[in-house]
């Protein structure tokens, strides 16, 4: 049910963008990601649900194998991310830079980036000048955009006295130096902030990982137990049929 809701929300968000004539990049579109995760979750849980209700060994085996693969992929991703932290950092930087490039192309992506920059008090990938990669915020003299050399309002320092957010507070900040810009915006990049947050919340992340892994392991074990019970029942039925067919029985 949850997976079907995820698919419905993702499809609705995607159709709404088309209705607004929004040009979204598929590679960084949260709606597409939501649909993909929802479809995958639905297929796996459908196999487990129907397989257990109908006592279908093939569906139960498929359910167990899929859960095992997902669990191993999560385990491998965690180990590789820890061992090859520099490459993982580079991959995260690549994703963030791609999101910066398509910031104005997708409203969902825009809201997601603004939320991240507000929560982590950061701006851009490595620094606030990374926003020059975006065609609207590009700081070259040939850029005709009114947002030239600016940064999104989510980079600005929060002023509790302001009742209304000034969306133009980041205007021209890329043209200023770090010290001058730091009086108005967050100049530190989100990558360093994200790494520091990860190091500070290792126990929380470990608990979340364990909370995700335990249901998967329980599902795998229960599926295998049910498969073994079904096979034992089949063997018992075959045994009884053979003995009933025996004239000396």
What is the rounded CA–CA span in Å between residue 175 and residue 118? 22
Would you say residue 248 lies in a domain?
Answer: no
Domain end residue (candidates: 15, 33, 54): 54
Q: Per residue in 183-204, pLDDT tens?
A: 999 999 998 888 888 878 878 8
Would you say residue 102 lies in a domain?
Answer: yes
Q: Per residue in 56-74, pLDDT tens?
A: 999 999 999 999 999 999 8
What is the rounded CA–CA span in Å between residue 226 and residue 63? 12
Same domain, 42 and 62: no
Same domain, 157 and 86: yes
Looking at the structure of the chain, the number of domains it has is 2
Same domain, 31 and 153: no
Residue 13: pLDDT band (50, 70, 90) is: confident
Same domain, 32 and 82: no
Instruction: Say what the pLDDT of residue 150 is.
Output: 94
Same domain, 118 and 17: no
Enclosing domain of residue 18: 1-54
Would you say residue 249 lies in a domain?
Answer: no
Same domain, 10 and 93: no
Instruction: Say what the pLDDT of residue 123 is.
Output: 95
In 125-214, DSSP assigns E strands to none
CA distances from 201 to 56, 71, 114, 174 (A): 42, 22, 22, 32
Residue 18: pLDDT band (50, 70, 90) is: low
Would you say residue 223 lies in a domain?
Answer: yes
DSSP for 7-32 reads: HHHHHHHHHHHHHTT----GGG-HHH
Same domain, 141 and 174: yes
Instruction: Say what the pLDDT of residue 130 is.
Output: 93
CATH number where 196 lies: 1.10.1450.10
Q: Per residue in 126-166, pLDDT tens?
A: 999 999 999 999 999 899 999 999 999 999 998 777 777 78
Would you say residue 247 lies in a domain?
Answer: no
Same domain, 28 and 63: no
Would you say residue 106 lies in a domain?
Answer: yes
Same domain, 61 and 146: yes
Would you say residue 152 lies in a domain?
Answer: yes
Instruction: Say what the pLDDT of residue 20 is.
Output: 46
Q: Per residue in 88-137, pLDDT tens?
A: 778 888 888 888 998 988 787 898 899 999 999 999 999 999 999 999 99
Would you say residue 245 lies in a domain?
Answer: no
Same domain, 35 and 96: no
Q: Per residue in 204-249, pLDDT tens?
A: 888 888 888 899 999 999 999 999 999 999 888 888 888 775 555 5
């Amino acid at each position: 049910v949850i997976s079907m809701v995820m698919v419905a929300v993702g499809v609705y968000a995607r159709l709404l963008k088309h209705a607004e004539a929004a040009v979204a990049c598929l590679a960084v579109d949260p709606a597409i990601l939501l649909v993909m995760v929802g479809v995958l979750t639905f297929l796996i849980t459908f196999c487990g649900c129907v397989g257990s209700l109908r006592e279908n060994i093939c569906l139960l085996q498929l359910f167990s194998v899929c859960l095992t693969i997902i669990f191993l992929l999560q385990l491998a991703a965690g180990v590789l991310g820890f061992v090859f932290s520099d490459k993982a950092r580079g991959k995260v930087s690549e994703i963030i830079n791609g999101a910066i490039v398509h910031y104005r192309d997708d409203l969902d992506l825009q809201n997601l980036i603004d939320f991240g920059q507000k929560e982590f008090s950061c701006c851009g990938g490595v620094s606030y000048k990374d926003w020059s990669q975006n065609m609207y915020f590009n700081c070259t003299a040939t850029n005709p955009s009114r947002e030239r050399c600016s940064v999104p309002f989510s980079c600005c320092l929060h002023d509790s006295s302001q009742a209304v957010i000034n969306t133009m507070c980041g205007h021209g900040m890329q043209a200023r130096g770090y010290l001058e810009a730091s009086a108005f915006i967050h100049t530190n990049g989100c990558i360093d902030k994200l790494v520091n947050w990860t190091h500070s919340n290792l126990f929380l992340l470990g608990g979340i990982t364990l909370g995700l892994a335990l249901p998967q392991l329980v599902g795998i074990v229960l599926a295998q137990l049910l498969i073994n019970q079904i096979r034992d029942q089949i063997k018992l039925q075959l045994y009884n049929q053979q003995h009933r067919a025996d004239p000396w029985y």
